[in-house]
Structure 1
Amino acid sequence: MLMVGLTGGIGSGKSAVAARLAGLGAVIVDADRLSREVVAPGTEGLAEIVATFGDRVLGPDGALDRAVLGSLVFTDEPGRRALEAIIHPRVRTRTAELVAAAPPDAVIVNDVPLLVESGLAPTYHLVVVVQTALSIRLERLARDRGMAPAEVRRRIAAQADDARRRAAADVVLTNDGTRDDLHHAVDVLWAERLLPYAVNLRDRRAVQPPRPERVEADPTWPEQYARLAARIHRAVTPADLRIDHIGATAVPDLDSVDVIDIQLTVPCLGDADGALAEQLADAGFPRLPETGRGTPCRPERVHGSADPARPVCLYVREAGSPGGPR
């Protein structure tokens, strides 16, 4: 199944995107909702929070007073880490249960406010970031939640900035217009990228690279490679296999065919089959058809990308072989 990470700063409209995707058929896993469920009255999570921070974090009804707890940990780094150690493992467990219960061909959208801050981007096949101008966010939060500008700015300062989110994003949805504009962008994303990606992933089908027509150098090619490499690193075993950005897109300011060339080096080419091939396919990099075993001069395995919008040639080569690192 396709795993999509969805994130955005407070007031960006991330929840509106999640709701639209749910209406289109996605299975939404809402990290904020789960973080509340795992510390609801009567749960072990709430009991551990009380044991750690005292019963001052409880409201008159016995439920967690999130405002009080937030005031305790906002400027207390050890306290914040202690709280995360209570909540995050429980949220991960509940997330895994929801994913396991979803249909095998589902598009799972993980709505995670702190996705970038938590370093979770490589765990998803695709990361979608909702981005909105600060002035619009301030206006929306004042109108919809009654939040003062100073409070909004304080919360924004505590989150990753737009540049850091963009670096982690495979897709940026700009939400500076109307709700209809946003819905249209989500609908296009669903029809042209998410659904085809999910089908390709299920069928172990790689997107054929485009025709060899050179395009103007894209300054984001290195960032795109870094995201792909992080996913590969997380997917394969052993985890310390060498990964390199090769080919023309690795050369700054060089016009090239828009295909990210990646080299994965293995101790023995026989390791490229079996479990490793399945790990790469699960991560969104199926074997390209009819690649065989390379040539006598350059034995290799070649994988592509199941993502219809990001062609990749992933060469799996043996250390010391022609074309491989020395």
Structure 2
Amino acid sequence: MIRVGLTGGIGAGKSTVARTLTERGAYLIDADVIAREVVAPGTDGLTQLVEAFGEGILQPDGALDRAALAARAFVDEGQRKKLNGITHPLVGARAFELLEAAPADAIVLQDIPLLVENGSAPFFHLVVIVHADEDVRLARLTGQRGMPEEDARARIKSQASVEDRRAVADVWLDNSGTPDDLAALAAALWDERLVPYEGNVRNRICAPQPSEEVDVRPEWALQATRLTNRLRVVGGDTIADVVHVGPTAASAGRAPDVLEFEVRLADGKAPADVTALLADGGFPERSAGVHANADPGRAVTISVS
């Protein structure tokens, strides 16, 4: 099993990617769907929202008026945090239940609008960002969804910046073309990366690594930071430190496009204590004390000591 986090700004086109991958067999956990379930009439979630934002967020039939809630919850940072403090734990608990029910060979696609904002990127094997320029998203929200422009701008402003999304993106899908163009990108991602990645993780297989040297690539540093964070989450308290080493860390001269890391274990821990954790996290053992990435899209070598 691998977990893939899917996100992007409101109106960017996540639904097209989610639909394409689900049609190919992804096990979808949709945070928006769950968010509606946990605040349905009669739930504790709806009761908490009414207590926090008032009876004015209810429709005449007692259901949540999402537009009325948005108008109150997105006016400033304090109100937004109040909303998230109520809904996020409820959504997280339900998502965990669904994750536990996923098949052992699943490619779990977790569609999470606020994945970047809630700091959960390192907990996924792969993070996919769907991007569209702000003016395009604004036009979609006001035109296709009928959202008032002021509300649309407030929703966009409340979300992560492009820079923040790029920092966590293992895959960047540019939705500047047609829906069919985006669907084709998603289908290629499924065939060329996600399917082999899941099989490699499940069967403890390391992906092939390039040997040809390339010029220094500016994205190495950002990729290394993402993987450092992921390794720390995967290893938990068995790991004392993760250090990016080797030619790609020096960023000087030519080198194979392979990110190298040293994983330094906590006191009293041995390489065997982290072997299964790293393998489950996408880094199976290649030889004694040396791990590599199962992801065919990003070559990694890890020395454990």
Structure 1's 11 and 54: CA in aligned 2 closer, same or farther, altered over 3 A? closer
Q: Cα deviations across residues 262-292 of structure 1 (Å, max 9, x unaligned)?
A: 011124686110x41111111111101xx23
Q: Where does residue 310 of structure 1 map in the other structure?
A: 298
Asked if the contact 1:8–1:113 (Cα under 8 Å) also holds between the matched residues in 2, the reply is: yes
Q: Where does residue 275 of structure 2 map in the other structure?
A: 277
* SS of alignment partner, residue 237 of structure 2: coil
Letter matched to residue 200 of structure 1: N
Aligned residues: 305
Letter matched to residue 216 of structure 2: A
Q: Where does residue 44 of structure 1 map in the other structure?
A: 44
Which residues in structure 2 correspond to 1:247-326 (within 5 Å)? Answer: 247-267=246-266, 271-273=270-272, 275-288=273-286, 291-292=287-288, 301-317=289-305
Q: CA deviation at 1:100?
A: 1.5
- Taking the aligned partners of 1:151 and 1:62, their CA distance within structure 2 comes to 23
- Taking the aligned partners of 1:193 and 1:33, their CA distance within structure 2 comes to 26
Asked if the contact 2:59–2:65 (Cα under 8 Å) also holds between the matched residues in 1, the reply is: yes
Q: Cα deviations across residues 82-139 of structure 1 (Å, max 9, x unaligned)?
A: 3222211111111111112221101111111111111110011000001112333233
- Taking the aligned partners of 1:267 and 1:76, their CA distance within structure 2 comes to 42
Q: Where does residue 163 of structure 2 map in the other structure?
A: 163
Q: CA deviation at 1:208?
A: 3.2
Structure 1's 50 and 141: CA in aligned 2 closer, same or farther, altered over 3 A? closer
Asked if the contact 1:280–1:286 (Cα under 8 Å) also holds between the matched residues in 2, the reply is: yes
Q: Where does residue 172 of structure 1 map in the other structure?
A: 172
Structure 1's 146 and 75: CA in aligned 2 closer, same or farther, altered over 3 A? closer
Unaligned runs of at least 5 residues, structure 2:
none
Letter matched to residue 107 of structure 2: V
Q: Cα deviations across residues 51-74 of structure 1 (Å, max 9, x unaligned)?
A: 333333222111122222222222
Structure 1's 42 and 239: CA in aligned 2 closer, same or farther, altered over 3 A? farther
Q: CA deviation at 1:253?
A: 4.4
Q: Cα deviations across residues 233-275 of structure 1 (Å, max 9, x unaligned)?
A: 11113166111000000013432110000011124686110x4
Q: CA deviation at 1:311?
A: 0.8
Asked if the contact 2:206–2:294 (Cα under 8 Å) also holds between the matched residues in 1, the reply is: yes
- Taking the aligned partners of 2:224 and 2:258, their CA distance within structure 1 comes to 10
Which residues in structure 2 correspond to 1:1-326 (within 5 Å)? Answer: 1-211=1-211, 213-238=212-237, 241-267=240-266, 271-273=270-272, 275-288=273-286, 291-292=287-288, 301-317=289-305
Structure 1's 240 and 265: CA in aligned 2 closer, same or farther, altered over 3 A? closer
- Taking the aligned partners of 1:148 and 1:78, their CA distance within structure 2 comes to 22
- Taking the aligned partners of 1:119 and 1:236, their CA distance within structure 2 comes to 17
* SS of alignment partner, residue 180 of structure 1: helix
* SS of alignment partner, residue 60 of structure 1: coil
Unaligned runs of at least 5 residues, structure 1:
293-300, 318-326
* SS of alignment partner, residue 285 of structure 2: coil
Q: CA deviation at 1:210?
A: 1.8
TM-score by length of 1: 0.88
- Taking the aligned partners of 1:57 and 1:306, their CA distance within structure 2 comes to 47
How large is the Cα RMSD of the aligned pairs? 1.8
Structure 1's 70 and 142: CA in aligned 2 closer, same or farther, altered over 3 A? closer
TM-score by length of 2: 0.94
- Taking the aligned partners of 2:63 and 2:14, their CA distance within structure 1 comes to 27
Structure 1's 267 and 19: CA in aligned 2 closer, same or farther, altered over 3 A? closer
- Taking the aligned partners of 2:49 and 2:146, their CA distance within structure 1 comes to 29
Structure 1's 56 and 253: CA in aligned 2 closer, same or farther, altered over 3 A? same
Q: Cα deviations across residues 297-319 of structure 1 (Å, max 9, x unaligned)?
A: xxxx10000101111000111xx
Q: Cα deviations across residues 147-183 of structure 1 (Å, max 9, x unaligned)?
A: 3544433322211121221111000011111222112
Stretch of structure 1 that moved more, 172-181 or 118-127: 172-181
- Taking the aligned partners of 2:295 and 2:153, their CA distance within structure 1 comes to 36
